[in-house]
Structure 1
Amino acid sequence: MSINNLPTGDDKHGSALRRPGFLAAAAFLGLVLVLAVVVIVTVGSDKDDSGTPQATGPTTAASSAPAGSPADTGNGCGLTDTSQTVPTSTPPNITWQLVKGDAVPTSPIAGPGKVEGPVARCYAHTPLGALLAVSQIADRLGVASNKEAAEILKAQAVPGPGVERNLKLLEGAELGTGTADGQTAGFQFASYTPDTAVINMVSRMNNGSFNTATFTMKWLDGDWKIQLQPNGANSSNVSQVTSTAGYVTWSGVS
Structure 2
Amino acid sequence: MSENEDQSPFGRGFVAACIVIGAILACGGLLIITGLSSDASSAPTPASLPAPAGIDLAAEPAGPAGTAGPATPAGTGGPATPAGTAGSATPGSEDLAGDSGRDGASRCGLAAGDQAIPASAPAVDGWEVTRRVVVPRSAAYGPAKVDADGFRRCFAHSPTGAVFAAYNAIGAIADQRKAVATAGKLMLPGRDTDALIRELRSEPVSDSSDSAQPVAYRVLDASRDRATVMLAMPVETAFVSATLTLAWYDGDWRVVPPPAGEAVGAPFAQRRDLDGFVAWSGI
TM-score with structure 2 setting the length: 0.65
| Alignment pair present for 1:124 and 2:124 | no
Is the Cα contact below 8 Å between 2:132 and 2:171 reproduced in 1? no
Deviation per residue, 1:137-191 (Å, 9 max, x gap): 23221x2134x121121122112444233322322312572122x3111001111
Q: Which letter maps to 1:228?
A: P
Q: Which residue of 2 aligns with 1:158?
A: 188
Retained in 2: the 8 A contact 1:163–1:232? no
Alpha-carbon distance change, 100 to 79 in structure 1, aligned in 2, over 3 angstroms = same
Amino acid corresponding to residue 111 of structure 1 in structure 2? G
Taking a change above 3 Å as real, the CA distance of residues 218 and 176 of structure 1, as seen in their structure-2 partners, is: farther
Say if 2:235 is the partner of 1:220: no
| Cα separation, 2, equivalents of 1:234 and 1:198 | 13
Do the aligned partners of 1:145 and 1:174 also contact (CA within 8 Å) in 2? Answer: yes
Q: Where is the strand percentage greater, Structure 1 or Structure 2?
A: 1
The CA RMSD over aligned residues, in Å, is 3.1
Measure the CA separation in 1 of the matches of 2:37 and 2:282.
26
8 Å contact kept, 2:183–2:193: yes
Looking at both structures, which has the greater relative contact order when contacts are Cα pairs under 8 Å and sequence separation is at least 6? 1
**1:218 corresponds to which letter in structure 2?**
A
Give the corresponding residue for 1:52: none
Matched, 1:21 2:52: no
* 1:13 and 1:201 in contact (8 A); partners too: no
1:17-42, CA deviations, whole angstroms, 9 ceiling, x for partnerless residues?
Answer: 4244336789xxxxxxx981599563
Aligned to 1:174: 205
Segments of structure 2 that go 5 or more residues without pairing to the other structure are 1-7, 39-57, 62-68, 76-100
Unaligned runs of 5+ in 1: 27-33, 44-69
Report the identity percentage. Answer: 23
The answer as to whether partners of 1:188 and 1:200 remain within 8 angstroms in 2 is: yes
Q: Any idea what SS the aligned residue of 2:268 has?
A: strand
TM-score scaled by length of structure 1: 0.72
**CA distance 1:241–1:87, change in 2 (3 Å):** same
Asked if structure 2 preserves the Cα contact closer than 8 Å seen for 1:9 and 1:25, the reply is no
Q: Secondary structure at the match of 1:97?
A: strand
Q: CA deviation at 1:9?
A: 4.3
Q: Does 1:135 align with 2:159?
A: no
- How many residues in Structure 1 have an aligned counterpart in Structure 2? 212
- C-alpha separation in 1, matches of 2:237 and 2:180: 30
**Residue 270 (structure 2) pairs with residue 240 (structure 1):** yes
Which has the higher Rg, Structure 1 or Structure 2? 2
- Work out whether 1:185 is the aligned partner of 2:215: yes
Question: AA paired with 2:279?
Answer: T
Q: Which residue matches 1:86?
A: 117
Deviation of 1:242 after TM superposition, in Å, equals: 0.7
The answer as to whether partners of 2:117 and 2:160 remain within 8 angstroms in 1 is yes
